[in-house]
Structure formats: C-alpha cells, structure tokens
Amino acid sequence: MTQQLMLLSILAAALALFAWGRLRYDLVALGALMASVLLGLVPGEEAFSGFGHPAVITVAAILIVSRSLERSGVVDGMGRMLRPSRGYPALQVAALTGVTMALSAFMNNVGALALMLPVAINAANASNRSPSELLMPISFGSLLGGMMTLIGTPPNIIISSIRAQQVGSPFGLFDFTPVGIIVAVVGLTYIGFLGWRLLPLRATGQDSGSERFKIQDYITEVRLTEGSDLVGKRLVELETLAQSDLAVVALERRKDRMLAPSPYLRLQAGDLLVLETDPATLKRVLEPAGLDLVGAPEPENSPLRSERVGLVEVVVTPGSRFEGRTVRNLRLHTAYGLNLLGVSRNGERVTSRLGQVRFQAGDVLLLQGESDAMPSTFALLGVLPLAERDLPQARRGKLDWKPLAVFGLAVAALLSGLLPPQIAFVLAVMGLILIGNITLREAYEAIDWPIIVLLGAMIPVGMAMETSGAAEAITAPLLAMQESLPAWIILAVLMVVTMLLTDIMNNAATAVLMAPIGLALAAGLGASPDPFLMTVAVGASSTFLTPIGHQSNLLVMGPGGYKFGDYWRMGLILDLLLLVTAVPAILFIWPL
C-alpha cells in the first residue's frame, strides 16, 4: 500500500508539472523516473531500460523516415490540386483537413502538419479568408489521421508494444484502421461542415508580413556622421551597442542600396542606414552611435525585399534553436545572416524590445535574409516557413520515388510478419542513408529527442504501476460497480479520463500511464485487453481541448492567432462525437 501511495504521489506531482508547463516535459519525466528509483519503486538496473524499448526505437525510426518523406516532393503541387475548392469554404476546409489526415496516417503528425501549413496559409491568402478558419482544422486532422495506422502516432506504437508484452503479439499495421477510419470520417464531417464555423476570425490571410506586423511604423532612416566612433567599424558594432534591439534592414552608400547588409560590412561616414527599431531604442543609440535622424521613409521608397533578399514569416517549433533563447544570445544576424523584424505571439505583435524577447514555441517571427540561404538556415534553426512565396522555387523538384520505395518495402515487411516494426523501420532508415536520401547528421536532427527522453523515462514508471499494484488501486472503485455498470460505461469512463489527461500532458506519456489502468480493468472484468488498449489509443490521440497537449496544436496557435480558450470551441464537440462513436465501434470490432 505504501508503494502504491508513493507512486501515485509521484504521478500526481508529474501531472501537476505537466499542466503547469514551466518545465519541459522530458525533464518532468526524468524527475518522475529518478524519484521512482530513489524510492525503490523502479529497480536501479532497470531505470533506463525504457530507452531500449521497441516503442522508443520505432518512434525514433519513424521520425527519420517521416523527414525523408517530407523532402520527397510527395505534396508538391498540393495547392494547385486544392484550387477548385476555393469558392466553397466548407469544401476547402474538408479538402485540406482530409489531405492532412491521409498524410498523417503514414508519417509523423507534426511532419504532416508542417507540409500542409504553408499550403493552408496560401489557400487562405488566395481565397481572402482568415487563416484561423483553416489552421486548427488541419491540426486536428493531423491528430485524427494518426489514429488510423500503427505508425501514425506514438500512442499507437506504445499500445502495440504493451500488447506484445501482455498477449505475446503486437497490433498489426492496420489493426487500428477500422476504428481509426470511423473516427476520422466522423471528425472530418464535423470539422468540414460545422467545426470551422465555431472558430473566431482573426488576422486576415491576405496581409503580407510587413502589413501583419505593421513594421513600417518602426522603420527609420539615420545617417552616420563624420565624427561617429562607428566609422570604419563593422555593422555588428551598432547592433551590439543597441543590445540587439534594432535591425539594419538596408544600407545606402553613394546611390548603391543594399538590403539585409552583412553584419561584417565596415561602416563609412555618410552611410544612410534604414533601421527597424522602437522609438525608445532609437533615442537611446542616436547620440552614442553618432547618428543623425533623417526621418521615416516613404513605404514605396523603402523596400524590404528584392530578388536577392526575402521577407518570410516563420513559426518557432517545439525544440527548435529559438525556443527559450533571445535574438542576442542566438546571434541571429552574425551567425545566420537573418534580421528579426517582428515577433507575434498568440496573434498579437510583441511590442517590447526585440532583443529582450525570449522566444516560445508557436511564436511567429518576421525574418529578412538572403532568399537562397533561407531554406537550409530555417531547417538548421528548426523553424517552419508559413508561406513559400519568398523562398526559391528551384527546390521544388519532381517526385522522388526512392524514399517512397524504401518506405513501401518496410511496410511490406511489417504486413507480411517478416519483421517487427522496430527492425523494419530501422532497416528503412539505414536504406535511406545508404542511397544518399538523408545524411547521418540529418537523421539525428530529425529525431525529436525530448519525445524519446519522455518515453524512455516514463515506460519504467508505467511498468511500476503494474508491479506496485497502483493500477489495480485506481481501477478498484469502477470494478466494485461492475455488477451495476455495463462494460461500455466502464470503457467510456476510461476514454474520458484518457482524453482529459492527454490535453494537459504529452499524448505518448498519457498512453504509457493509462495502458496499465486499461489492462487492470480488463483483468478485473475477465475481458479481453484489446478493447481497453484500443480505447486508450484513441483517447490518448484526442488532444482537442488545449494547445499544450500536442505539438501540432501549438504550431498553429501563433499563425492562426488563436487564444488558449479557442481550442475547446471546436474541440469539445469533437471529443463528444468521438466518445459516442469510438466506444461502440471498438466494442463491435474488438469484442470483450
């Protein structure tokens, strides 16, 4: 009993920290693991056994394969295919959401969303719609699509591995498909016809980056005087003096105009500098820098982009190099050649000093830099461009069949029973590296290491729920009422609890913690574990009430201008629809 109370206390503390959100979920998971080891709940020699668990290996391999599929050109031309739906708002939402679902069934949820996010924003621009009407639907579509196959989402992989330990065989690639398709069709119908209408109208899709951020209000021209201490020094010296609170977006010297000048360019007396900064910073640096104020230029005389220089909005992804850092300690201009012109958070421009802004996942940044270098720089920094109009078109090539063929062979080996998932997809990763489709460095960068650490740490804790009897203690009240409650109500309660947990903690962690509870319920009822495991799988992927439960929801928060409370507007009805649909479907396809 003491062990059960200790473990439940650890899990309650972890749950509170997950909901608080101030500590990253992988750190919280490691803390829960270490506490369990110190209290003797998890044997020391088994503390890190989770990192070699088949589910963890499979998730890592799928992330690498997904990155390869993203670059294969599989969705090139998607925008042109969806053009006929522009005149029909409901059809446009349904088409974008449906395509995202289909992609998400066979690749990582976030990867599928990353491919469709620029397509959806460009569709909003073309049809003069608010992106808020399209972005949450495709985010929810990526979650619904992942339910349809074993490899569509980490919870399914985890549940399959747990079944292998309990029953002796895992779920197959398409064992999730019957229930998943029913749930996806119901979700798509709701989202396409009603769900998007419940969303607020925020920033208009037709605004360009400069209009959305209103950066013309912060553009000023100054001239470097003869007596300035900066004469002969590099441009970066001015940025350092301003503590990275300004960006030099253009420099004019003897009628030659340079956009996004190099930070290592040496300044000369008489240089006309076009600065993007706030009035307080401008006032603070004018005298020390020896600058004469010329005034605000006319918008048409102060272009921010050219054939060489682009102006692109990007969203900060979870785990990117931006997250938790400032433009100053990131050395954005000197290290990466990018000027930060604006930051938007939750749909509103951040008006504080840019050099002091600590970036968060979901922030939208307006960046200026050389167009040819932007795609590789964005990939290195871990940010996602929201539209591709300012990026080179040459990188859009023909469909590359090699990664698709390797992926197909892995799926065939899995379906035939020749290889288990972790072996099939690790071999696929090796094949992609050997044919030169992806480098070793790119493979390591494709892995979402916080997710891997989260899974590796939580799996031993989840196992301790069974060995300590904590799972049985949690399920005892429900089992005590089994004579008066039909099994479908117990299954529905399991799904509701799982749905609520996954909205405040990572869906993979939810699957790890709720699977032992599902198994305990099945054992107590003398029923098959399959319907209970399927219920946990569906519930763990139903992250529709908050932006913090899944990375897909967080990624669309900034570009869509959503508030925290906007998610339940569309998500609450969707949760209820899935509950009344999935439970009967599970009981029919996977009887007790």
Query: What's the whole-model pTM score?
Result: 0.85
pLDDT of residue 396: 47
Q: What's the pLDDT band for 280 if we cut at 50, 70, 90?
A: confident
Q: What 3-state class would DSSP assign to 162? A: helix
Nearest of 478, 449, 510 to residue 15 by alpha carbon: 510
**pLDDT range class, residue 577, cuts 50, 70, 90:** very high
226-289+306-389 has which CATH code? 3.30.70.1450
**What are the residue boundaries of the structural domains of the chain, listed by start?**
2-24+51-204+406-589, 226-289+306-389
DSSP states of 364-419 as a string?
EEEEEEEGGGHHHHHHHHTEEES--TTS-GGG-----HHHHHHHHHHHHHHHTTSS
Cβ-count burial 488-510 (b if 16+ within 10 Å, e if not): eebbbebbbbbbebbbbbbbbbb
pLDDT over threshold 70, residue 206 = no
Q: Of the spans 59-73, 159-173, 337-351, which averages the highest pLDDT? A: 159-173
- Which tens digit of pLDDT belongs to each residue from 217-269? 778 889 999 989 999 999 999 988 988 888 999 999 987 888 889 999 999 99
Average model confidence (pLDDT) for the chain? Answer: 87
Calculate the alpha carbon distances from 121 to 84, 195, 205, 316 in Å: 16, 18, 7, 16
Residue 25: pLDDT band (50, 70, 90) is confident
Residue 388: pLDDT band with limits 50, 70, 90: low
Rounded to the nearest 5 degrees, what angle is found at the Cα of 565, between the Cα atoms of 564 and 570?
115
- Cα separation, 82 vs 99, in Å, equals 10
Cβ burial of 2 (10 Å; 0-12, 13-18, 19+) is exposed
Signed CA dihedral, 145, 148, 149, 150: sign only: positive
Whole-number pLDDT of residue 394:
39
Helices vs strands, H then E, count in the chain: 25, 10
- Across the range 191-220, mean pLDDT stands at 73
| 66 vs 535 pLDDT, higher one | 535
Helix 421-434 × helix 401-415 angle, to 10°: 160
